[in-house]
Structure 1
Amino acid sequence: MKIIILGAGQVGASVAEGLVSEENDITVVDQDPARLAQLQDRLDLRTVVGDAATPTVLRSAGAEDADMVIAVTQSDQANLVACKLGQSVFNIPTRIARLRSRDFLEDESLLASDNFAVDFALCPEQVITDYIRRLIEFPRALQVLNFARGRVCLVAVRAYEGGLLVGKPIKAMREHLPPEIDARIAAIFRDNQPVFPEGDTVVKAGDEVFLLAAAENIHPVLNQLRRQTARVERIMIAGGGNIGLRLAKSLEERYEVKLIEGRRPRAELLANELNDTLVLYGDATDEDLLEQENIAEMDLFLAMTNDDEDNIMAGSLAKRLGCKRVVALVNRRAYAEMIEGGPIDIGISPAQVSIGTLLAYVRQGDVAEVHSLRRGAAEALEIVAHGDRNTSKVVGRRIDEVQWPKGVTVAALVRNFEQPIVVGQTDDWTAITRYGEVVIAHHDTVIEPGDHVIIFCTRKKLVKKVEKLFQVGFHFV
């Protein structure tokens, strides 16, 4: 596929890295020659220096025979103009735009083909907000991801000394769960290296364990396997930019929220925009300010400024002063890997968090969901199975019959989305109903047509091999 990426910032570079390894013909456009040169040194792609919202530059990038344009510059206006030019001048079939403004995102008619002609709108700030909200619901999780329309949940946790599974084989997990609940350890990372999870694999303290279960079961499973943790009630946010504002708005009704902003005009604007959030004008790295605002009583500190160093400093200070848990936004992947597990509990790379929804759309076909794991080193994907035993390498076969690439784990299947499943009761008369049957994968589980198969790939390069396995043909026997 011939793809033009407009913008070589964090999101654009991550998208290019995610797609260039899949044998796509990639061209990246940006106004910064140094940034493009750095990208070209790392990846096998073409670059063009210029304004992405002009026909001349788009033509130089190969727009006349491109299959897709992905406009992820810092400017909403430039992204929208590029998509419109891609449709009206160059007839590019698929057009994707990164948008920050609520005005464009909330009025879908503006993105229709007779207006700005955007097929898919990506808002990284909203994706990150949703991601952090899920982390808040699981106080000790490193990562929380949903699959199959929310029917399945994947949670990454750190195995701790004295935990029920530490020092025991994975198959012992069954002993700690009620008979009606099933779960699966989809992957283990030990010292940053993948450990293939088999029944006899022993979990060690410090392992990063990816645990998967039906959404209604994930809390009971974690409660069985980890020490109980108090729920989050008090949250402090450092940084009142787009992400900080979105977070505060989404959290203030359920939690006690304080937000620190270092620019007075912005702080005043935030105070007017937010209803139940206490907005503080000041520096989040000011020890006196944090102590004055009772940082030691906070359950969670979210460092969400635009500056990596400020986030690291503010987060480290908050932890030293007694805050229970610290999450920091860190754009540089090397920083995120270096700081996580120290005073900062979780380092979030915005580009890596938001890229999954975009990759799922770009790959299209039968890939319903893609999640980047461990800052892009691994991926979890949800892929739909089609065909039958004669036309597919996976359908109609037991999981242990399929020749999966080394490093690939089939974790679960979801089938029959039209079928209501009772998953609990709110009271004696009211049932909680979900749609779709969750099947935790075991070696003898048979993949059926239409199943949404959730697969864990310990290396990103394995994704293409998995997709090929699911292709339907007429020569399989």
Structure 2
Amino acid sequence: MIIAVTRNDEINMLICQIAYSIFKVPKKIARIRSQEYLDPKFSSLFNKENLPIDYVISPEIEIAKSIQRKLEAPGALDNIPFADNKIRLLEILIDEKCAIYGIKLNDLTKKFPKLNAYILGVVRDDKFLILKKNDSLKHNDKAYVVVSSNKMEETLKVFGHNEKVSNKILIIGGGNIGFNLAKNIEQSFESA
């Protein structure tokens, strides 16, 4: 495997080409910042016949996606979409406002019958733990919770996070990050 992450897109592409053509490297990853190369009309550029790059990493696009995920789930430390955005993995900090704080996991459905989420585990004292049914969440745990995307807000409320989703957003800065963030937000509103 080769990972080309120099400051120059063209050098990264050339490194992947040489790695494939001369050294037969099976997996090639390149950092590409230029939005022109990332335009969908050039999607056929990155293949074995042209430029053999298996994965393209764009720091600006990844940062814009991260900001958008924060906007979509206020109160969560992070959220990761799966299954075409139907499922989310939420990282939630447990504090004193959390309604399920101290309740055993096997009692959650009795006290919160509408809670439709699965707690995978927690980070507690810098260690990841898979909780058993008699365990409970503790103060300062970081809980990892799988939830249907349309139940995020409801789930976050049970975990003590009542932050509202922003309806008005002002993006300052017209660089690649701001452009990609605006484009992502626009697409998410169109699909909603």
| TM-score range normalised by the length of the shorter chain | 0.7 to 0.9
Contact preservation (8 Å) 1:165, 1:172: no
Paired positions, count: 187
Unaligned runs of 5+ residues in structure 2 are none
Q: Where does residue 102 of structure 2 map in the other structure? A: 167
Residue number among 97, 118, 136 corresponding to 2:71 in the alignment:
136
> Which amino acid counterpart does residue 128 of structure 2 have in structure 1?
P
Residue number among 224, 230, 238 corresponding to 2:158 in the alignment:
224
Question: TM-score normalized by structure 1?
Answer: 0.36
Q: Quick check: which has more Rg, 1 or 2?
A: 1
Residue number among 111, 121, 130 corresponding to 1:196 in the alignment:
130
Question: TM-score normalized by structure 2?
Answer: 0.81
Q: Alpha carbons of 1:187 and 1:114: their partners in 2 closer, same or farther (altered >3 Å)?
A: same
Q: Where does residue 127 of structure 1 map in the other structure? A: 62
Distance 1:91 1:227 in 2: 51
Deviation of 1:90 after TM superposition, in Å, equals 2.7
Q: Secondary structure at the match of 1:73?
A: coil
Q: Alpha carbons of 1:234 and 1:86: their partners in 2 closer, same or farther (altered >3 Å)?
A: same
1:393-432 alignment to 2 at 5 Å? none
Q: Alpha carbons of 1:76 and 1:219: their partners in 2 closer, same or farther (altered >3 Å)?
A: same
Distance 2:187 2:151 in 1: 26
Residue number among 10, 13, 24 corresponding to 1:91 in the alignment:
24
Larger mean CA deviation between 246-255 and 125-134 belongs to 246-255
What's the C-alpha RMSD, in Å, of the aligned pairs? 2.8
Q: Secondary structure at the match of 1:114?
A: coil
Distance 2:18 2:174 in 1: 34
Distance 1:135 1:78 in 2: 33
Q: Secondary structure at the match of 2:150?
A: coil
Deviation of 1:141 after TM superposition, in Å, equals 0.7
1:75 corresponds to 2:11: no
Distance 2:54 2:103 in 1: 49
Deviation of 1:218 after TM superposition, in Å, equals 3.3
Deviation of 1:157 after TM superposition, in Å, equals 1.3
Distance 2:86 2:187 in 1: 25
Distance 2:7 2:187 in 1: 30
Contact preservation (8 Å) 1:177, 1:224: no
Distance 2:149 2:186 in 1: 25
Distance 1:222 1:131 in 2: 18
Unaligned runs of 5+ residues in structure 1 are 1-67, 256-477
Q: Alpha carbons of 1:147 and 1:251: their partners in 2 closer, same or farther (altered >3 Å)?
A: closer
Q: Alpha carbons of 1:99 and 1:142: their partners in 2 closer, same or farther (altered >3 Å)?
A: same
Identity across matched positions, percent? 29
Contact preservation (8 Å) 1:141, 1:157: yes
Distance 2:155 2:133 in 1: 18
Deviation of 1:83 after TM superposition, in Å, equals 1.4
Deviation of 1:100 after TM superposition, in Å, equals 1.2
Q: Which whole-Å deviations, capped at 9, do the CAs of 1:284-306 have from their partners, x for residues lacking one?
A: xxxxxxxxxxxxxxxxxxxxxxx
Q: Secondary structure at the match of 2:14?
A: helix
> Which amino acid counterpart does residue 89 of structure 2 have in structure 1?
L
Contact preservation (8 Å) 1:71, 1:97: yes
Larger mean CA deviation between 242-251 and 101-110 belongs to 242-251
1:146 corresponds to 2:81: yes
Contact preservation (8 Å) 2:94, 2:159: no
Q: Which whole-Å deviations, capped at 9, do the CAs of 1:65-123 have from their partners, x for residues lacking one?
A: xxx22212221010111112122333323322111112222211222323222222222
Contact preservation (8 Å) 1:152, 1:213: yes
